[in-house]
Amino acid sequence: MLSFLLGLIRLIFFILYVSFFSFGFYLASFFWDKESTAKKAQSLRDFLIRITNRFLGIRTVVYGESPQIQGLIVANHRSYFDPIVIVSHIHAYPVGKKEVASWPLIGYLCKISGVIFVERECQDSRQKTCDTIKNTLNNGYSVINFPEGTTHVLPTTVDFNCGSFKTATQIKAAVIPVAIDYKEKSDAFVNDDTFIPHFLKCFGKLTTEIKITFFPPLYSEDAEYLLKTSKDMIDQELIRFREDWDKEN
pLDDT at 25: 86
What is the number of domains present in the chain? Answer: 1
Q: How far is CA 29 from the centre of its chain?
A: 25
Q: Find the distance separating the first CA and the last CA of the chain, reported in whole Å.
A: 24
pLDDT at 120: 64
pLDDT at 81: 92
Query: pLDDT tens track of the chain, all 249 residues?
Result: 789 999 999 999 999 998 898 888 888 888 888 888 888 888 888 888 889 999 999 999 999 999 989 999 999 999 999 999 999 998 899 988 777 777 777 777 777 777 888 776 666 767 788 888 888 898 888 999 999 989 999 999 999 999 899 999 999 999 999 999 999 999 999 988 888 999 999 999 999 999 999 999 999 999 999 999 999 999 999 999 999 999 987
Q: Count CB neighbours of 144 within 10 A.
A: 22
Query: Identity (one letter) of the amino acid at 24?
Result: G
CB 195 within 8 A of CB 151: no
Distances 109 to 43, 66, 97 between C-alpha atoms, Å: 11, 24, 14
CA-based nearest residue to 144, from 237, 73, 248:
73
pLDDT at 121: 63
What is the helix (H) or strand (E) element at residue 239, kind and residue range?
A: helix 223-248
Who contacts 185 (Cβ-Cβ below 8 Å, separation ≥6)?
153
Q: Which domain holds residue 42?
A: 2-248
How far is residue 85's CA from residue 60's CA, in Å, rounded to a whole number?
8
Q: Where are the beta strands (DSSP E) in the chain?
A: 58-63, 71-75, 92-97, 116-118, 142-145, 174-182, 208-214
Q: How far is CA 169 from the centre of its chain?
A: 22
Which CATH number characterizes residue 15's domain? 3.40.1130
CA atoms lying within 13 Å on the CB side of residue 67: 27
| 3-state SS class at 182 | strand
Q: Which residues pair with 208 in a beta bridge?
A: 58
How far is residue 226's CA from residue 113's CA, in Å, rounded to a whole number?
28
CB 39 within 8 A of CB 47: no
Q: Which residues pair with 95 in a beta bridge?
A: 116
Torsion of CA 62, 167, 140, 87, to 10 degrees: -30
How far is residue 135's CA from residue 93's CA, in Å, rounded to a whole number?
12
How far is residue 33's CA from residue 111's CA, in Å, rounded to a whole number?
16
